[in-house]
Amino acid sequence: MAIQGILSTTLAGLFTFLGGVLGVMRPPSRRTMAAVLGFAAGVMLTISLADLLPHCTGMYAQWMGLPMAAAATASLLLLGMVAAALLEQGVEKPDDPAAISWFLMLAILLHNLPEGVLTLFASVQEPTLGWHTTLAIGMHNIPEGISVAMPLYYATRKRTKALGAALITGLAEPAAALLAYGVLHFWMNPAMVAGLLAWSAGVMCWVSVAELIPAGLALGYPRRVGVGACLGMAAMLLGMGLLS
């Protein structure tokens, strides 16, 4: 069962690389880049606000009252935002397109770590459910891969670097699953995974609001940013629908 779980997380992670391939098929223009930055922001905000935070609150509500669960989730969200803001302060040129691209990659990678553990848990506990979860997570990893690869390709004009970033981001899922199974399984539990998801939601919300949307607007095509954000939200809602 554990081997199947590792295979499931690897397959789900490789869908991120597939999205990366789609993202570097042609060099993006400024208009396309504005839409992609909006798309990436829509993807991450929807994951955070409509999936990760409700999941964490629901998990914690099983052990404490709903008000305390909501407060704990909000605290973890704020901690994630603070961590992202501090990381931003340590970068010499945070407004540089390449720096924004790496911020985006880091935010999605941090989200994929606990997601890999969740996929492993689902596969071990119920193999049929595990494959369903793998497919659903894989489908919503495709827009994540596009969001990672295309901005980096725009900033560096290097397909290999953009594809490498998408691959590393996707492989974070099986890496986290292996770590959880081989080392952390003695003390890893669903509540801890839920907390990590809420913390990563804070990172993604900060990167979306403080980096991606301003960078997209700075390109001079605000409507493209808005359309991209709406498409990103729709793509993630579709992926979440597959998970339900």
Residue 23 φ/ψ, nearest 5 degrees: -75, -15
* Residue 209 in this model has a pLDDT that exceeds 90: yes
- Average pLDDT of the chain to the nearest whole number: 84
The pLDDT value given to residue 184: 63
Residue 107 confidence (pLDDT): 85
Total length of the chain: 244
DSSP 8-state class, residue 94: T
Render pLDDT for 151-181 as a digit per residue (tens, 0 to 9).
Answer: 889 888 899 999 999 999 999 888 888 887 7
Whether residue 136 has pLDDT greater than 80: no
What's the average model confidence in pLDDT over 176-193?
75
The predicted-structure confidence for 45-102, as pLDDT tens digits, reads as follows: 998 999 889 989 999 999 898 999 999 999 999 999 998 888 877 665 556 677 778 8
Kindly state the tokens that stand for 93: 């040129």
Q: What is the mean pLDDT of residues 33-41?
A: 91
Domain borders along the chain are: 2-243
Q: Nearest to residue 5, comparing CAs of 140, 125, 150, 97?
A: 125
Q: Is 179 exposed, middle or buried (0-12, 13-18, 19+ CB in 10 A)?
A: middle
Give pTM, 2 decimals. 0.82
How far apart, in whole angstroms, are the C-alpha atoms of residue 186 and residue 202? 27
What phi-psi label fits residue 243: left (phi over 0), alpha (psi between -120 and 50 degrees) or beta?
alpha
Neighbours of 233 (CB within 10 A): 20
Cα–Cα distance for residue pair 196/63, rounded to 1 Å: 17
Backbone φ/ψ region at 220: left (φ over 0), alpha (ψ -120 to 50), beta: left
Of the candidates 244, 170, 200, the residue with the CA atom closest to the CA atom of residue 12:
170
